[in-house]
């Protein structure tokens, strides 16, 4: 089935779905936390070493740099304000874990202004790739400039927005994906896959590969036999989709160590180990539970993937391929 026949989602304003675009072009930016965008918790300042050794060339496939707030104003359409989470603290955390390469992802708080991420990518002491949020009419030359800077994908955030009911404008993102396909880029979706029971067929013919965060970002209590999860496994099994093992605290009902997430992780590890990525999700923005130590968080990966060989695949081989890191 073609994408068009499956365009079941509301096709409302692209601007809302790509979030923040209007605000940025209008320079409606602000530095201060507000009632609509309160400060969230800071990352744990003293990460401890993990219980297992990360393999050489390990890649953190999901993290954000935020700030300095005093220099780079945030998008006024944001829904939270993070305390500064800067590159030196992030690299310190990675070195403590034994991670050697990073993938930065554009956080919603900067809308389509990627300058903080691009700057961190230039200044990073480690091999770095990025996932950007861009206007869908971005010029080809600018896209190529992003590619040279290390960008390898674009992100659509359908969750942490002021109006989540805006849905997924399939026709627009499909047309855009055709444009980024020749560069080998992918399309990352931050979406609750349980909102998309047709997920498996919706993206079957999509021009680029899809990346989904937080193990599919299912709401707590979602059943393993949910058609959305089935579709996710199916797409991943067909080599059309990747799943990030990130942010278990975002889908767990329980506090650390979030054992109620294990059933999703175990199903993914069993069925599609060659389509999984690991990410720290540092600095854990909008954390609603106790802020965990990053070393303790990393230990969860050993619980999900006790096999060292398989961990190496998820930490090194899979992301090196998707993000086109040099071998
Ligand atoms: Zn994140």
Q: For residue 147, what is the domain's CATH number?
A: 3.20.20.140
Q: 38: CA distance to ligand 1 center in Å?
A: 17
Output the CA–CA distances (angstroms, integers) from residue 52 to 114, 256, 295, 326, in the order listed: 34, 18, 10, 25
Spatial distance between the Cα atoms of 232 and 240, rounded to a whole number of angstroms = 10
The residue assigned the tokens 């009911």 is 165
Q: Is 327 contained in some domain?
A: no
Q: How far is the CA of 39 from the centre of ligand 1 (A)?
A: 16
Place of tokens 């399939």: 170
Q: Is residue 103 part of a domain?
A: yes
192 is in which domain, residue-wise? 3-322
Ligand 1 centre to CA of 64 (Å) is 6
Query: Which of 105, 109, 115 is CA-nearest to residue 84?
Result: 109
| Contact between 190 and 161 (Cβ < 8 Å) | no
Distance 277 CA to ligand 1 centre (A): 13
Q: Tell me how far the alpha carbon of residue 40 lies from the centroid of ligand 1, in angstroms.
A: 13
Asked whether the whole model's pTM tops 0.75, one would answer yes
pLDDT tens by residue, the chain, 327 residues: 233 223 333 333 333 333 333 333 344 566 667 778 888 999 999 999 999 999 999 999 999 999 999 999 999 889 889 999 999 999 999 999 999 999 999 999 999 999 999 999 999 999 999 999 999 999 999 999 999 999 999 999 887 655 555 667 888 999 999 999 999 999 999 999 998 999 999 999 999 999 999 999 998 888 889 999 999 999 999 999 999 999 999 999 999 999 999 999 999 999 999 999 999 999 999 998 999 999 999 999 999 999 999 999 999 999 999 999 986
CA distance 325 to 57: 10
286 alpha carbon to ligand 1 midpoint, in Å? 9
Active site residues: 281
For residue 260, which of 303, 292, 316 has the smallest C-alpha distance? Answer: 303
CB contact at 8 A, 149 and 121 = yes
Distance from the alpha carbon of residue 282 to the mean position of ligand 1, in angstroms = 7
Long-range contacts of 15-18 (CB under 8 A, 24+ apart): 16/161, 16/163, 16/166, 17/156, 17/158, 17/161, 17/166, 17/167, 17/168, 17/169, 17/172, 18/112, 18/133, 18/135, 18/136, 18/156
Number of domain units in the chain: 1
Q: Could you tell me the distance, in angstroms and rounded to a whole number, from the CA of residue 1 to the centre of ligand 1?
A: 32
- Closest by CA position to 223, among listed 279, 262, 274, 264: 264
Cβ neighbours for 200, distance < 8 A, ≥ 6 positions apart: 227, 230, 231, 232, 234, 235
Say if residues 280 and 245 touch (Cβ distance below 8 Å): no
Candidates 268, 133, 266; CA nearest to 193 is 268
Q: Say if residues 116 and 72 touch (Cβ distance below 8 Å).
A: yes
């Amino acid at each position: 089935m073609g994408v068009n026949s499956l365009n079941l989602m509301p096709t409302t304003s692209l601007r809302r779905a790509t979030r923040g675009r209007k605000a940025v072009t209008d320079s409606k930016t602000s530095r201060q936390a507000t009632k609509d965008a309160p400060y969230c918790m800071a990352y744990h300042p003293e990460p401890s070493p993990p219980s297992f050794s990360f393999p050489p060339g390990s890649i953190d496939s999901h993290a954000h740099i935020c700030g300095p707030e005093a220099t780079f104003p945030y998008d006024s359409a944001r829904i939270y304000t993070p305390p500064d989470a800067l590159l030196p603290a992030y690299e310190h955390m990675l070195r403590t874990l034994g991670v050697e390469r990073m993938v930065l992802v554009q956080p919603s708080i900067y809308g389509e202004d990627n300058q903080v991420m691009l700057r961190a990518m230039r200044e990073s002491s480690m091999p770095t790739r990025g996932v950007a949020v861009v206007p869908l009419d971005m010029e080809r030359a600018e896209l190529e400039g992003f590619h040279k800077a290390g960008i390898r994908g674009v992100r659509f955030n359908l969750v942490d927005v002021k109006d989540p009911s805006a849905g997924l404008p399939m026709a627009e993102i499909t047309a855009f994906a055709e444009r980024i396909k020749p560069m080998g880029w992918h399309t990352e979706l931050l979406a609750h896959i349980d909102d998309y029971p047709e997920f498996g067929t919706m993206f079957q013919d999509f021009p680029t590969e899809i990346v989904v965060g937080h193990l599919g970002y299912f709401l707590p209590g979602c059943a393993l036999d949910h058609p959305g999860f089935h579709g996710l496994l199916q797409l991943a099994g067909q080599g059309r989709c990747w799943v990030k093992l990130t942010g278990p605290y975002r889908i767990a009902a329980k506090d650390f160590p979030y054992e109620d997430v294990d059933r999703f992780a175990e199903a993914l590890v069993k069925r599609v180990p060659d389509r999984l990525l690991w990410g720290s999700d540092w600095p854990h923005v909008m954390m609603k539970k106790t802020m965990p130590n990053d070393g303790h968080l990393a230990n969860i990966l050993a619980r999900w993937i006790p096999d060292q060989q398989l961990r190496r695949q998820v930490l090194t081989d899979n992301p090196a391929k998707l993000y086109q890191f040099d071998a």
